Structure 1
Amino acid sequence: MSSSTAELRPEGQNTAVVIDQQRREKDRPQNGGSEGKMAAWASANADDTEPYGLCAQILIILSYVITIVTFPVSVFMCIKIVQQYERAVIFRLGQLKKGGAKGPGLFFVIPCIDEYRKDSVTVEVDAVVYFRVSNATISIVNIENSTGSTKLLAQTTLRNVLGTKTLSEMLSEREHISHQMQESLDEATEHWGVKVERVEVKDVRLPREMQRAMAAEAEAAREAKAKVIAAEGEQKASRALREAALTISETPTALQLRYLQTLNTISAEHNSTIIFPFPIDILSGFLPNAARPFVAQSPQSPQQQVPLSGGEGRHNVPINYD
């Protein structure tokens, strides 16, 4: 007698489909989709993080104590803000802190213990690469399309180089960035028979929001600098006036000469008659007592004795100037 076994399957379904379904059902608990992989990766990284040692725990506790003692001031150092377009990655004593990237919004850090880094805005950079084929044989044999490959490599190199620079460095160190890219590209394309002659960064374009923010910051800096310059000018002018006043007080005749020079200047500039209500004698009141003899004094009496000769003797006749 012979025995046989039969497998029941739905009508119109072949063996290959059944085997494929069984394989997917078998692998489903292990794979779990992309979300399951990401969760498993995150939990694995969290488990791999080594616990803090004794010294690290002492430093953390000490930092908490200092933060509490200096509470009114420490608030400004502990609370950080991340914008909508930014994410912050926190490292505590060199180790990645659990919880992943922070933001957007507020988050708390411990001064001198936590270090956070954030991704800022995206910028658009235009660059030009000048290259030539230095060895035609190598350019044909070693690579299929040397021109296209050089362009793609230039884009990748530009992205890698600019990723290590801040925004201010991108704007101020274009020549250094171009030189760094030229060296990197020339070394990489040497085996392709391509010689990179020159790399130039044409333009760095920022978002409009960032442009307005930078313009406002630059304007505020210029206004502050202008105020500082004006204050320094006033200070220097005050010192000059003080020195001039000391010089005039030490030399009494200088005030009279200055007065006469002012009268001369006014009379030369304007074709008009100017009447001063006070004589120069009034200035003697502002001078020291030792300087007053140098000031021209007016007559003490409206009458003056004039000697006349006649007859046998001399007679003094009063003359009235009124």
Structure 2
Amino acid sequence: MSPQPPPQNAAPDRAAIAGALDRARQAIGQRLYDKDHVVRLALACLLADGHLLIEDIPGVGKTTLAHGLADTLGLAFSRIQFVSDLLPSDILGVSVFDRNEAEFVFRPGPIFAELVLADEINRASPRTQSALLEAMAERQVTIEGVTHVLEAPFNVLATQNPADQNGTFALPDSQLDRFLMRIHLGYPTRMAERRLLAGGDTRAEAHNDRLSPVAGPNELIAWQQAAAATLVRDPLLDYLQALIAYSRRTGIFERGLSPRGGLALRRAAQAWALIDGRDHVLPEDVQAVLPAVVDHRLIRRERDTDQPSTHLLHSVDVG
């Protein structure tokens, strides 16, 4: 049994946390070659107690990353394959009549797990996609008038195919905003692909041989508390506010960052600092997580090859 998290007033051992997270990154790196920055972003998203969206073509390792996170953090894992005929009840659960008890009994769906993989989420209809909305936002689901709490830790990792592929439904803005980060894996490097071709299928290994956990659910909750307690000094808050304010200037983006988006940026930067074992946030932490946090929330009015985060970084001084 995993040890209980430390008391709220106990100072977290940030060096020990950073060491455990480094072991998790190395273990996942044995399955997902040369993607250390992406793995680090995914860990930071979970440390910030956020949901993660991975957008990429099929077959580049999205599911492998999900399995690696669940294994190394010792989380109860479930996978939901989103298809066109998937129903909300297939995700949330359903009440069935128990003849022995002569009453309806709730049978929980796969959403009741600690790490939920919503695979190819944009292949399902908007009605089914929206079934995740309350769960992601409120950490609860309501079925037939009864509310069922999703116990912590609870995080959703969703994958989606590019929107130009056949059989996809674009995620609405309200759903996109529920994801703290969106990341892309991309094609492997030449050396990484050589290792894949020479060494076999790491996806099969991910299914057959689980990675050894470096922690458990209680530890993850304690780490999330430590991330939230990471110090954000006034000059850093000034930088965050400058980025947010610039995003809201008329004529640059269709809409600026919402307060939720600003909080997401702060939480992600705190988690990034914790991975380094620090008790305070640096501007470099904000800059490291900025693309993953803001690029799915901001749309440029003018046609430009630069991502919104690139424009922000070039336009806003640290101070």
TM-score tier after normalising by the smaller chain length: under 0.3
- Name the one with the larger helix percent: 1
Could you say which structure has the greater relative contact order, defined with CA pairs below 8 angstroms and 6 or more residues apart? Answer: 2
Q: Please, what TM-score do these two structures have when normalized by structure 1? A: 0.23
Q: Please, what TM-score do these two structures have when normalized by structure 2? A: 0.23
Q: In terms of Rg, which structure is larger?
A: 1
